Amino acid sequence: MEEEYEEFSQEQINELVERFEASIKETNSAYFDVEEFEEIIDYYDVTHDTKRLNIALKTASSIHPNHSFFKLKEAQRQMSSKRYSIAISILNDILEIEPENYMALQTLAFTYSNMGNHQRSLEIHLRTLALTSDLKDVYMNVAYEYESLHDYDKAVVYLKKILENDHEDEGALYEILFCYEVSKNMDESVKFFSNFVDDHPYSQTAWFNLGITYSNLELYEKAIDAYDYTLAIDEGFSSAYFNKANALININKYKEAIDNFNDTFIYEEPDSTTHMYIGQCYENLDNRDAAIKHYYKAIEINDKLPEAYVNIALLYFNIENYSKALPMIKLALEISPDNVDFKYILGDIIAEMEDYETAAGVYIDIAEADPDNKEVYFDLAGIYWNMGNKEDAFAILEKGIEVSKINYRNYVRLAEFYYELGDKNMSLNYISVACNSNMEGCLELISGITHLMEDEAVRELIDLKK
């Protein structure tokens, strides 16, 4: 009769490790049996003591040269170090003697997967199905390899096999949602999770995934219902409050969204992202002070969040409080110095402060960093014009038109300049070109240029173009 293996206690493991390390120092050949070496090697593996792990593996292999466990551990170590060819060679040696060694085959599959050879990894994982009664891990590994091969339908087949044996397996449920999302098969996702909650109505994970699916389909009311079912099952499911709040934002229910965002703080630590969303909700409710308060709360939690500084800067910019907007956008740029959008906001703020030379420098930097930017030429031309540099203003607009011949904004700016120079015919010509390019945008832009809109000829041309 085979002797039953007893697990070592932590105290016994510590004594083994001490005895092994003493034998290394004294360079004596203390004997440890296979089970003892397994515990020693696992200890060094878990504690990431690579040096002693190597010594233990070499010593164990020399004392017990025919035991595959030590070879397997060495192969796993080589795989972790990305020495894949060595790992494969060791594993093949094991499999030559023990062709049905489950752990060796699994490690070989992982090695090929790490090398990017997912087809070979898949084939090996499928071989292991006949070698174990614990099929869950194999099914999951097979699903992962099918995902890596972009065969999401087959991945779902194996994930469903996991759920046949354990319908509460959250990992399989989330992975199925992932497959449907990546393959953009949301209709099938609705069908699957709807059927699943019919069969298992207390699965909060399935209800949650159904909510995500409905949100992806922009069916926000149905998504909210699904999240409510999730929370009825588990009131502490903070992600459900968060997702429900986002769905409420999409149907303009900002007050309810704020309530749900705040509910997340009951069950988990407040985070900067949630405060950002709350701030945006208050912006939509025209509550500027509350919005700024939550953006500052986001900064208190994460002072490296540039979007929070930007949002505060824009709120001040919109009420023409440029002296408060300027330092905030500068702080954002300290965090993300290459962000073109942030630089653009900086240029706009400085331009409104009538520091035209500095604003021009900012816009020039943007044009040099992003020459295909269609908007910067319009603004830079306006700065040059305000500085009295009319020649450069026309030149930069010509460059802008080279970048985009259909950008109506540059043509409207040319019309504005020619009108101010007294050349009404050229002005009307460019208004005509702008209207042909984008009638709606042209009307919106010209409506803000008072001296153009007050001109009867301009109004008649626009009426004709409508």
Residue 438 has pLDDT above 50, yes or no: yes
User: What pLDDT, on the 0 to 100 scale, is given for residue 2?
Assistant: 40
Region 430-452 average pLDDT:
92
Nearest to 365 by CA among 330, 391, 334, 339: 339
User: What pLDDT, on the 0 to 100 scale, is given for residue 6?
Assistant: 63
Region 419-443 average pLDDT:
94
Confidence tier at 32 by pLDDT (50, 70, 90) = confident
| 337-349 per-position pLDDT tens digit | 999 999 999 999 9
Residue 354 has pLDDT above 60, yes or no: yes
Residue 1 has pLDDT above 60, yes or no: no
User: What pLDDT, on the 0 to 100 scale, is given for residue 225?
Assistant: 98
Residue 217 has pLDDT above 70, yes or no: yes
Cα–Cα distance, 275 to 407 (Å, whole number): 37
User: What pLDDT, on the 0 to 100 scale, is given for residue 287?
Assistant: 98
The CA-CA-CA angle for residues 446, 451, 456, to 5°, reads 85
User: What pLDDT, on the 0 to 100 scale, is given for residue 8?
Assistant: 78
Q: What is the mean pLDDT of the chain?
A: 93
User: What pLDDT, on the 0 to 100 scale, is given for residue 115?
Assistant: 97
User: What pLDDT, on the 0 to 100 scale, is given for residue 61?
Assistant: 75
Residue 441 has pLDDT above 90, yes or no: yes
Nearest to 281 by CA among 263, 294, 266: 294
The CA-CA-CA angle for residues 205, 207, 208, to 5°, reads 60
Give yes or no for a contact between 263 and 248, defined as CB atoms under 8 angstroms apart. no
**Hey, what are 251's tokens?**
């149907």
Taking the model in full, what pTM does it have?
Answer: 0.82
**Cβ neighbours of 115 (radius 10 Å):** 16
CA 335 to centroid of chain Cα atoms: 19
Question: Maximum CA pair distance of the chain?
Answer: 109
| 238-273 per-position pLDDT tens digit | 999 999 999 999 999 999 999 999 999 999 999 999
| 184-196 per-position pLDDT tens digit | 999 999 999 999 9
Cα–Cα distance, 291 to 308 (Å, whole number): 10
Q: Which residues, at least 6 apart from 375, have a Cβ–Cβ distance to it below 8 Å?
A: 344, 409
pLDDT top residue among 24 and 77: 77
User: What pLDDT, on the 0 to 100 scale, is given for residue 4?
Assistant: 47
Catalogue the long-range contacts made by 309-316 (C-beta closer than 8 Å, 24 or more residues apart).
309/335, 310/342, 310/345, 311/276, 311/279, 311/280, 311/283, 313/345, 313/349, 314/345, 315/283, 315/288, 315/291
| 411-426 per-position pLDDT tens digit | 999 999 999 999 999 9
User: What pLDDT, on the 0 to 100 scale, is given for residue 272?
Assistant: 97
Residue 62 has pLDDT above 80, yes or no: no
| 279-331 per-position pLDDT tens digit | 999 999 999 999 999 999 999 999 999 999 999 999 999 999 999 999 999 99
| 371-408 per-position pLDDT tens digit | 888 889 999 999 999 999 999 999 999 999 999 888 99
Residue 60 has pLDDT above 90, yes or no: no
Range with the poorest average pLDDT among 34-38, 95-99, 159-163, 321-325? 34-38
Cα–Cα distance, 65 to 70 (Å, whole number): 8
| 131-175 per-position pLDDT tens digit | 999 899 999 999 999 999 999 999 999 999 999 999 999 999 999
**Cβ neighbours of 1 (radius 10 Å):** 3
Residue 53 has pLDDT above 90, yes or no: no
